[in-house]
Amino acid sequence: MKSLLPVIVAAAAVVSTPAFANLELAQKKNCLACHAVDKKLVGPAYQEVAKKYAGDKTAEAKLTEKVMKGGAGVWGPVPMPANPQVSADEAKTLVKWVLSLK
């Protein structure tokens, strides 16, 4: 029987990556009720957000505020509600993750 240690170590590395942790944070904060990584739901796909704001040096601050306070008009008529359950640090973490999904 082959050792399972390499499989366990590889699985632990995947689970502990920042991307997985940030996906988990997005789930915990109910972001995925309206967004998905690769397809439009109620709101835009995170990959589309990353593409739209690629190269925009003000994107992180703009989007962090939008996560917390909400907004409207950028992606169509459906507004994004405010998310008071998301702290400023959590919003920044989520936005950095979303912007990395290009």
pLDDT tens digits, residue range 24-69?
999 999 999 999 999 999 999 999 999 999 999 999 999 999 999 9
Mean pLDDT in the chain? 86
15-to-18, 22, 63, 101 alpha-carbon distances in Å: 8, 11, 26, 17
Average the pLDDT over 88-95 and give the result. Answer: 97
In order of their start, the domains of the chain are: 5-99 (1.10.760.10)
Q: Which residue has the higher pLDDT, 6 or 33?
A: 33
Residues 6+ apart with CB under 8 A from 17: none
pTM of the prediction? 0.79
